[in-house]
Structure formats: C-alpha cells, structure tokens
Chains A and B, each alone.
Chain A
Amino acid sequence: MLSIEFLLNALIAGLLLGGFYAAMSAGLSLSFGLLDVVNIAHPAFIIFGSYLTFYVNEHFGFDPILAGLVFAVPSYFLGVAVYRIYYNCFEKTGAESLRGLVFFFGLFFLIEVILIITFGVDYRLVRAFYIGKSTSIGSVGIAYRLFVPFLVGGILAAVLYLFLTKTFFGRAIMGVAQDSLAVQLMGVDPIRIKTVAFGIGIATAVIAGSLLIIIGPVEPTIGREYIGRVFAVTVLGGLGSMTGTLVGGLILGVAESFTSSFFGPSWALAVSFGILLICLAVRPSGLFGR
C-alpha cells in the first residue's frame, strides 16, 4: 500500500507548495520579521492580489503572473499609505501593541468584506496556457499550476535576499532591524526605510496573490486559512531571515502534503497552526533566528 512512488509524489508536491508558501511569507518576513510591524492583514492583501489578477484575466485575458507583476507597482504605494497611517496613529504614540494589532485585524476584515461585496462569495479562478497541464519525471507527476508558482516564488525570495544583502537600501533595512537609533545617527531616516520596506512587503503580497489563484480557485474568506500559514513560516524560519523563510516554507509545504496524503485534506490546516504553536513554545527565535 505504501509505495515509494506515493511518498515521492507527496514529497514533490509538498516542496512545490512550500516554494509558494515562502513567496507568500516573504513580505511578512520583511515587515513583521525585520521591522516589527505586525501586519496581520498580510493574507488579506494576498487575496486582494488574487482578485486583481482574476479581474484583469477574466476581462482582458492578462497572464496571471504578468498581472501580478504589474499590480505590484501600485500596491507598493498602497503599502506606503497603510504604513503612513499606521506610523502616525500608532507607532509614533507607542500604542502599536494593542491598537495597532486591532487596526490590522480590522483592515483584514474590511478587505475581506469589500471583496465579498464586489465579487461575491463564489470561488474564482484564472485561465492561462500552463494551468491544467503537467509533466512527469519517472513516476512523479509535476503539475504546472504548482510548478510555475514554485518557480516564481523562488525567484521572488532570491531577489529579496539579494536586495537585502547587496543593495544600500536593503542593508539599511537590515540596519533598522538591528539598531534603529544607530541608523539614525548615520544620517538615515528609519521611518522612510520602514515605509519603503512595508511597501515592498505589500507588493510581494500582491504578487503572491497572483500565484495563489494559479494554484487553485480563491474565495474572499480564504485569507483566514493563510494567517496561520504565513505566520508559521515566518516564525519557523526565524524572524527576518529570507533563507529561513524559504526553508520554513518548504518544511510547511512538505508537512502539509504528507498530512493530507495520509489523514485527508481537512487536517492539513491544523499542521501550520501546530507548527506555529510548537515553535513558539519550544524555540520562538525559529530555525535561523537572529
């Protein structure tokens, strides 16, 4: 009954899914992991991106990934605006812990309700030439609808990694994460850096949204399922570590894939929260924690 092929298939599917999970969590790793902005609305921005992609795909036949990349630009400014509000109302007055959290929770809920009102509660999906096809290496099947998001997600994580370690701005972000006062003394405005970083976080969320709707149909309230996942990946990988986010995503993907293969898909959701709870209890700094 338990064949090698079965295990191998589950493993490959899990790894592919995991690459996507990493892409989904990269933005959160940036805003929450590095800059302590508890953007609990991150999954809602992902779903928002999915619906933007759906809209232009349905009406103008845009390729989903192209749509995601195009929408990443305006969503950067959306992120900047959200962070400005957050900073002025909460961070500046030191009220971020309770009210800031509630603010993002309210934002999450608002985005969800607005999507329901505009698009209804039906599942939506996109069309593209690579969706629905698959290839096989030996006995292992690889569906393109999983492979493409894996690829794009991997590239996204790699670009973010290079950005953070090689460019001036990226290093400034890391600097703010380590010691915001020191950065300020070097003549860099930490708030401006944080604004840019948060904007990039939202932009990646929207790209991840276009990947999500390639993987499967999306409905407005699906974001809730991803709160656990994105936070599990970010915490498991270690806050603010891009390598950690990638590894964390892969671990979660494989764990979920095996769980749904052995116990049924309805238990897969418990995996992320289980990992999250265990990780917080045993090693809150994660695998690659600073």
Chain B
Amino acid sequence: MSKERKLFLIVAAVLIVGSFLITTQMENRFYYKAAYVVLQYVVLATAWNILGGYTGYVNFGTAAFFAMGAYTAVALIKTWKPPLYVLLVMGGLVSGLLGLGIGYLTLRLKGVFFSIATLALAVVLQMIISNWSYVGGGAGTAILKPRSVPMFSNYDEFLFFVMAALAVVSVAVAWLIEKSWVGRGMAAIRDNEEAAECMGVPILKLKLFATTVSGALMGIAGAPFSYFVVYIEPTSAFHLDYAVNSLAMPMIGGTTTWLGPLVGAVLVGTAQQIATVTLSSEMNLLIVGSLLVGFVVFAPDGLVGLFGKIRARLAGREA
C-alpha cells in the first residue's frame, strides 16, 4: 500500500469517527438536517463526476437514479420494513442496474443524445412512479421513521452519521478510480473515444463500469431519503434541482479530480442552506444557476483549476 493511499484511508476513517463523535455532542436538530443535505450532495456530485467529469458523458438524469434508490426503499419499507443497510444495498443495486442499462445506451448515443436520453429516463420513471399506487402514486406517501436506534439519541442524528459515512466512502471510491488505470482509461475516453479504443482501452467495459458505479452511488444516496423527508412524493424525489445541483457542483469545483465535486458540493451546498433560510428558495436556485453558467463560461476548470493557476503564478513569481 502506497503512502498516499494509507494517508487517504486514515483521513477517511478519522472523518467517519469524527462525525459519530459530533452526534454525541451537538443537540440542534436543524444543523443535522442541513448537514445531511450538504453531505447528500457530496455523494451525488461525486457520483455524477465519475461519469460526467472522468468519462465525459453528461448525465441530466441524476434525479432518476436518486429517486429510484428512494422508491426502492419505499417499496421495501411498505413490504417488510428491513433495517437501513438493506435499503442502502437494494437502492444501490436497483440504481446500479439502471446505470448499467444506460451504459449500454452509450453504444449508440453520444454527446447530447445521451444527455437527453437520461433526461427522458427521469421523466418516464417519474410518470411510472406517479401511476404506481403501492408506493403512494402521484399524491405521495408518509413513511414512519423507526422510533430509535442504539447509540444515537434520535433518528436524524443517525441519518446524518450514515450520510457522512456514505460521503466519505463515495469520495474514496472516486479517489481510487482516479488513481488507478481505470481512471486513466476514463480520461482517455473523455478526450477521444476513438483514439482510446485504438490504443486498446476497453472502452465499453469502462463506460459500463462508470455508469454503474455512478448510478449505484446515486441510488444509495437516495435510499434513506424517505426516512429523511418523512413524506415522499414523486415531484420532490425527481426534482430537477438534483440534476442541476449534481452537475453544477462539480462544474463549480472542477471536474477532473475527486476534490472538485467535494469542494463544489460543500461550498454550494452550504451556501444554499444559508440562502434558503435567509433569502428564499427561488433566490437560492438563481444563485446556483448563475454560478453554473458563470463558471462554465469564465472558469472552465472550476475552483480547483483556479487555485492551481494562482498557485502556479505565485510559484513563478518566487522563482
């Protein structure tokens, strides 16, 4: 094991333990709710970036994968109410399979057609869920939280801890992919798919891997959603905000590294939580939209790229 990997794992473990320790100290429930949303976006943005940033396929259908995870969980809760880890696994499985299916679409659909297909998927799935009365149909359904969990004083704190752990795990997954030959292969696909294939990069396998992992992570992030919101309905689960945010955050942070989506999600996510409270939810969307367009136009490499440039310039001045 390389030194870098050891360090990364230690930091990851410290963060997970740290988030558990926080729950033993802090009381205010609002912060847990807010932190949960931000961490959920860390997972979604990182997952989006594995496909969008590394491989270059723009997914507009984050909401579809997220909501499939959430609704898989709802269906399971309605039948036999399994423990949360089962929901996470099953949500990830269903959305991962959905991702695999979308992956086969990349055989025929490139560029904008792939993106529209993912958007189409979200709309069609929302329609199916809205017509499926077992999980509440269009009107939605109420989900009862488990009354208590061992070691945590209430369920919100537990959910916060779970999402923190998921965020750490997904960033670790992105990091592992990026540092391995898989990540380099994906970058080759992003830069020039034909050339990559000619050089012997197994492009189909890598694309399928990217769509599956990305979809599965989004599904896992969605699995605890119904417990978090208590009342779940298709419009909120399939909201376009998920697609826009999970795409805007890596774009703002920077798409080529694991750090970009993390920075973007933490900054934009936190800013949104503050803006929703102090301004209004529409203003907060306006801010995200403007930031997205602004960064795409003026700082295509995101914040990480900007910092890199500034650092390079400072280093140049010293030398």
- A interface with B by C-beta (< 8 Å): 32, 38, 40, 85, 89, 95, 97-99, 101-103, 105-107, 109-110, 113-114, 116-117, 221, 224-225, 227-228, 231, 235, 266-267, 269-270, 273-274, 276-277, 280-281, 284
Among B119, B131, B288, the one with the most A-chain Cβ atoms within 10 Å of its Cβ is B119
Verify B300–A95 contact, CB threshold 8 A. yes
Q: Chain B interface secondary structure, helix, strand, loop or mixed?
A: helix
Interface residue total, chain B, C-beta cutoff 8 A: 39
Stretch at the interface among B24-32, B107-115, B223-231: B107-115
Determine if B112 and A101 form an interchain contact, defined as CB atoms under 8 angstroms apart: yes
B274-319 residues at the A interface, CB under 8 angstroms: 282-283, 285-286, 288-290, 292-293, 296-297, 300
> What residues of A have a CB within 8 angstroms of the CB of B127 in the complex?
266-267, 269-270
B286 touches A117 (CB 8 A): yes
Known: A102-B247, A284-B108. A228 touches B123 (CB 8 A): yes
The verdict on B208 contacting chain A, using a C-beta distance below 8 Å, is: no
Known contacts A107-B293, A227-B116, A273-B123: does B282 contact A113 (CB below 8 Å)? yes
- Chain A residues, Cβ within 8 Å of B116: 40, 227-228, 231, 276
Q: Which DSSP category, helix, strand, loop or mixed, fits chain A's interface? A: helix
Q: Are A117 and B58 in contact (CB under 8 A)?
A: no
- With A105-B60, A284-B113 given, name 13 new contacts (CB 8 A): A101-B115, A102-B292, A102-B296, A105-B115, A106-B244, A109-B240, A109-B289, A110-B286, A221-B240, A224-B240, A227-B116, A269-B123, A280-B117
Q: Which residues of B contact A270 (CB under 8 A)?
A: 123-124, 127
> Looking across the interface, which residue of chain A has its beta carbon closest to that of B287?
A113
Provide the bound-state CA to CA distance between A209 and B209, in Å.
42
Beta-carbon contact of B111 and A106 below 8 Å: no
Contacts of B293 in A (CB 8 A): 103, 106-107, 110
Contact of B111 among A97, A113, A116 (CB under 8 A): A97
How far, in angstroms, from A233 to B111 measured CA to CA in the complex?
A: 18
- Nearest 4 A-B pairs (CB), nearest first? A273-B120, A106-B293, A110-B289, A106-B292
The minimal Cβ–Cβ distance linking B114 to chain A, given in whole angstroms, is: 9
Q: Are B123 and A266 in contact (CB under 8 A)?
A: no
Q: How far is the CB of B288 from chain A (nearest CB, A)?
A: 8
Q: Give residues 260-286 of B contacting A (CB, 8 Å).
A: 282-283, 285-286
Closest approach, in angstroms, between the C-beta of A24 and any C-beta of chain B?
16
Residues in chain B near residue A276, CB distance under 8 A: 116-117, 120
- The distance in angstroms between the C-alpha atoms of A108 and B282, with both chains bound, is 15
A116 to chain B, nearest CB (A): 5
Interface hits, B140-190 → A, CB 8 Å: 190
Chain B residues near A110 (CB-CB < 8 A) = 286, 289-290, 293
Q: Does B98 contact A (CB under 8 A)?
A: no
Q: B251 — which chain A residues lie within 8 A by C-beta?
A: 99, 102
Scan B75-114; emit 1 where CB is below 8 A from any A CB, else 0: 0000000000000000000000000000001001101110
B217: CB under 8 A from chain A? no
In whole angstroms, what is the CA distance A32 to B112 when docked? Answer: 10
Q: Which residues of A contact B286 (CB under 8 A)?
A: 110, 113-114, 117
Partner of A106, one of B108, B119, B130, B296: B296
Task: Give the complex CA separation of A224 and B108 in angstroms.
Answer: 24
Rounded to whole Å, the gap between the CB of B54 and the closest CB of chain A is 12
Residue of A nearest to B300 (CB): A99
B292–A228 CB distance below 8 A: no
Residues of B within 8 A of A228 (CB): 116, 119-120, 123
B215 CB–A CB distance under 8 Å: no
Q: Are B285 and A113 in contact (CB under 8 A)?
A: yes
A98 touches B58 (CB 8 A): yes
CB distance from A233 to the nearest CB of B (A): 12
Interface membership of B56, Cβ < 8 A: yes
Q: Are B297 and A117 in contact (CB under 8 A)?
A: no
Nearest residue, chain A, Cβ from B120: A273
Q: Which of B56, B113, B190 has the most CB of A within 10 A?
A: B113
B203 at the interface (CB under 8 A from A): no
B297 touches A38 (CB 8 A): no
Asked if A106 contacts B289 (CB within 8 A), the reply is yes
11 contacts between A and B (CB under 8 A): A95-B300, A98-B58, A101-B58, A105-B58, A105-B115, A109-B244, A109-B289, A117-B283, A277-B117, A281-B105, A281-B108
Nearest A residue to B52 by beta-carbon distance? A98
Contact of B285 among A32, A105, A109, A277 (CB under 8 A): A109
Q: Which A residues lie within 8 Å of B218 (CB)?
A: none
Mark B50-63 against chain A: 1 for CB-CB distance below 8 A, else 0: 00100010101000
Q: Tell me if B248 counts as interface (CB < 8 A to partner A).
A: yes
Which one of B115, B131, B289 has the greatest number of beta carbons of chain A within 10 Å?
B289
**Nearest opposing residue in chain A for B283, CB measure:** A117
